[in-house]
Structure 1
Amino acid sequence: MNEENRANGEDKETLFSRQIGAQAARKLKAQHGAAKSIWFGLGMSGLIGWSVTIPTLIGAAIGIWVDAHYPSKYSWTLMLLLMGLLIGCFNAWHWVDSEYKEIQEDLDE
């Protein structure tokens, strides 16, 4: 009888310890996710800002150079600045979309 009680007790302890372990893992994951989300959000906003700013500035710089060396009645600076802005916005959209999909995949798991 002691062996049966010991076996049933071990099964209950094993089940109980697994439940506690799973609960602790969920809690740690949630705590890690909260800290990660703050820094992740700041980093992502910086990434988005730079992914728009850099192509815009490059477009403006090339436009200034073209206007200085090849004068025309059209402003290459303005056209290339707008083109750089569009490329930067597309680039930022791509990053946000890929991160959104990754977050959705994590939530589905």
Structure 2
Amino acid sequence: MPSRLRPADPGAVEAAVARVSRGTADRADLRLLTKHFLAVLEARAPGRSVEVRVPPFAAVQVIEGVRHTRGTPPAVIETDPETWVALATGGLAWADALESGRALASGERTDLSSYLPLA
């Protein structure tokens, strides 16, 4: 099944990241960056053993391993859009996100530290 997510236009990503860093990002910027960086992660870590959820905008299945076909996958990562963008751009370390509770991870293969940052 092909991904529904595609990397965004580089100019749009750059502008949205700039607004995030200035603290002037809006919901549309967070949606664009969330979907963009999930698409980048999906390309860099293909597979279907871990589901990364960033509600309310998107979720992807990544990382090679045991594939699930229905129901809740055995490995899940969930975070909010602001945290996901911070992780993807290098503004927040994976370990710090987990320790602070800004990201939740359960199951095998949920350590994204080798894939982050994505920008």
| TM-score bucket (shorter structure) | under 0.3
Q: Bigger radius of gyration, 1 or 2?
A: 1
Which one has the bigger strand percentage?
A: 2
Which one has the bigger helix percentage?
A: 1
**Structure with larger RCO (C-alpha < 8 A, sep 6+):** 1
Output the TM-score relative to the length of structure 1: 0.25
